[in-house]
Amino acid sequence: MLLLVGLGNPGARYAGNRHNIGFMAVDAIAKHHDIGPWRRRFQGVAAEGPLAGERVLLLLPGTYMNESGRAVAEAAHFYKLGLSDIVVFHDEIDLEPSKVRVKTGGGIAGHNGLRSISAHIGNDYRRVRIGVGHPGVKDLVYSYVLSDFGKDERPWVGALCELIAANTDLLAKGQDATFQNKVHLSMQAKGFFPPKDMD
């Protein structure tokens, strides 16, 4: 069993926020792989189904971002999952918009959802870091991530979530680097960022 967690805040007022791109990505995975229906479980909503020969549980915590760890811990303990079986999709302000990086463990860079999860289950789970960009000034970060993607950003957000969903089978197989590269090259092919990787 793999646990795929999308981070975000529940409710319509947050649905389009940059902070909710984790929710958007996992919702796209559910649609692409026909996993469902969503049911109220583990202090949020969850859907279970097959993906690349694995059984997966998709989870959108309903606890609000700062308490995401409560929902993740409940699901992980219920299925007796190890940290390597948990993949968390979240917004990353230290990555350019539309960039995706996968890593295991590491710092939380001030992300309250990651802080909560690490406090509840430990730090060495897998993360899919989805770049949303930085407002440029530290004091503006809070309002920036809690504001909606702009109209001009929505095309790449939709394309990126669909590409993440289309390639999630690679994550399920543990091929994190291949997943990352395929998403990057596909976004590049669609023209959503310059050919030269600026990292």
Catalytic residue numbers, as ranges: 19
Tokens at 167, concatenated? 């390639």
Closest CA to 39 of 55, 20, 62, 21: 62
